[in-house]
Structure 1
Amino acid sequence: MKTAINIILLSGLFMGLGTTVLFAQEEEGAEKKNYRKSLDLTYEANNELIEEDFTEAEATYRKAIARSDKNATARYNLGNAYYEKNSLGEAFMRYKEAGESAASKADKHKAFHNMGNVFMKNEEYQKAVEAYKEALRNDPSDEETRYNLALAKEMLEKEKQQNQDNQDNQDNQDQNQDNKENQDQQQQQQDQQNQDQNGGEEDQKEEKGDPNQEGDQKQDQQQEGEGDQQKQQPQEGEGQPEQQRQSQLSPQQIKNILEAMNNEEKKVQEKMNAKKVKGIPVKTEKDW
């Protein structure tokens, strides 16, 4: 399809290239002379372009254009030269000037046809469609222009479909992004609610007391109490009542203990009796 476009574009490139009397009319005075001089310069520039001397041809075409505003051929052919060099902006400007200054429909058709070619190369399909339509208005019989118009319409539809697909993809991406952001926001809210709820339950446990913790405390207190009781409980033979210990002594041990106690009582009694016999000492004053 691209090859077909190139063939069509190139086939219309040099329309009017050798035409030096495209707008030949009887002129009066200086204007007539300038117009004829402009046509001569156009012919000279055509030959330079055929000899592939683009620089000289460009300069000569510019001289021809400066000589006469009515010389559409010089503008059109210079546009073709720029098109060959892929200077599409310069080419379009010269084709546009040629279309505006052209006196016949045939010349307008050529200018608008090549304007459409420029738009096609720039992939500006909507503008290409309009340019080819204008060319056909001036020459409805040109099948080459008609084919290019159909091709431009086809490319325009493909472009619109591609743009629509891209827009749909972008909309889907935006929707997916929005859904993800909403899900993330909902998840954050749910997490915050869970955190607040857990915090409230912890506060209630602190106020009411954790049953498990209370059970542990009671168990610890019970163990401590049992430990204290074990500490307070005397070991075997220690802190037990005398009677209980005596019941654990042999008869001989009991006899020895009683005799020792009697002996102690006798000693105490003898000391007390001795004090009674001696009497209480009387303190006397010294006779100075």
Structure 2
Amino acid sequence: MKRLLRVILTLFVAVSFAQNNKENKQQLLALKNANNYVYEGNKVVNDDFVLAEMEYRKAIYENPNAIAGSYNLGNAYYKSGNLDEALYRLEQAVNNSTSKAEKHKAFHNIGNILMQNKKCTEAVEAYKNALRNNPTDDETRYNLALAKECAKNEQENKDQNEDDNNKENKEDQQEKDQNEDKNKNNENEGDNKDEQENKDEGDEKEKEGDDKEDENGKPEDEKDDKGKQGDKKDDEKKQPPKPQPGKMSPQQIKNLLEAMNNQEQKVQEKMNAEKQKGIKVKTDKDW
């Protein structure tokens, strides 16, 4: 029984070793093929980007965890101007990197791409990560200084835009408030106008009530005025006319004429009486 167990264990170890050996051979072959594809891509990248891209993709397919294929393909996209695809491939290279040197190169190029995309704040972080993996790289340090200056200007522009937006929003709010106040004033004026019109209409109705007509269709006020005028005329008839200064009344003229007639009649009667007696002649004096 023990002998059987030993045989089984020996066979299992042999199979496992053989399987691991096979896998190792496959990995070595994939790595070799990937490196060959990268090499072929590097030869034609400056002359034929399409062919180089195809070779780098083959390298990634053969060995997805290798950094060479994704890193070189990212650089090829960067040179061709396809920054978004370049950024994706270099981030892939960072994730697959196993050494600080590889990470430094990938982060440095990521910083360059972000600067091209005017993402200065993100570029600062990329250059800092590159320096963490290689603090002696003066080129990365120089690019970091440029990125910081760019990020500073970027923040100032952002703050200025926010201030301008806040100012514009404030002005819009003030204009809105002014329009609301104006509309409110117009509404109040309209209410006051309606109130005044209602008041005037009430006054007119009240006046119409005071000017009611009598049975003959004449306004009572007019009737009362005529009645008052009639009473006034009756009073004037009852009272003797009052003499006015510098002017004789009709009664005074009548009395004066009667007096003159009476006086003239008396004179005429006296003259008639003297005619009947004869005229007395004056004579000379005696001697």
**Who is 2:84 aligned against?**
89
**Who is 1:126 aligned against?**
121
Larger Rg over CA atoms: 2
Which SS does the other structure have where 2:136 is aligned? coil
Unmatched runs of 5 consecutive residues or more in structure 2: 1-22, 211-221, 227-287
Unmatched runs of 5 consecutive residues or more in structure 1: 1-26, 215-220, 226-288
Matches within 5 A, 1:160-199: 160-199=155-194
Check whether the contact 1:116–1:128 (CA below 8 A) recurs between aligned residues: yes
Question: Please, which of 133, 137, 144 is the counterpart of residue 139 of structure 2?
Answer: 144
TM-score by length of 1: 0.60
Q: Distance in 2 between matches of 1:62 and 1:160?
A: 39
Check whether the contact 1:95–1:115 (CA below 8 A) recurs between aligned residues: yes
% identical equivalent positions: 38
> Post-superposition, which runs of at least 4 consecutive aligned residues in structure 1 deviate over 6 A?
none
TM-score by length of 2: 0.60
Which SS does the other structure have where 1:123 is aligned? coil
Question: Please, which of 24, 39, 44 is the counterpart of residue 43 of structure 1?
Answer: 39
Deviation at 1:35, TM superposition (A): 1.2
**Who is 1:203 aligned against?**
198
Aligned partner of 2:99: which letter? S
Q: Higher relative contact order by CA 8 Å / sep ≥ 6: 1 or 2?
A: 1
Aligned partner of 1:101: which letter? N
Deviation at 1:102, TM superposition (A): 2.0
Q: 1:235-258: per-residue Cα shift (whole Å, max 9, x none)?
A: xxxxxxxxxxxxxxxxxxxxxxxx
**Who is 1:233 aligned against?**
none
Q: Distance in 1 between matches of 2:75 and 2:153?
A: 29
Change beyond 3 A, Cα 1:122–1:200: same
Q: Distance in 1 between matches of 2:74 and 2:36?
A: 18
Count of matched residue pairs: 191
**Who is 2:264 aligned against?**
none
Aligned partner of 1:146: which letter? R
Q: Distance in 1 between matches of 2:197 and 2:97?
A: 92
Question: Please, which of 129, 148, 153 is the counterpart of residue 153 of structure 1?
Answer: 148
**Who is 2:61 aligned against?**
66
**Who is 2:130 aligned against?**
135
Aligned partner of 2:27: which letter? E
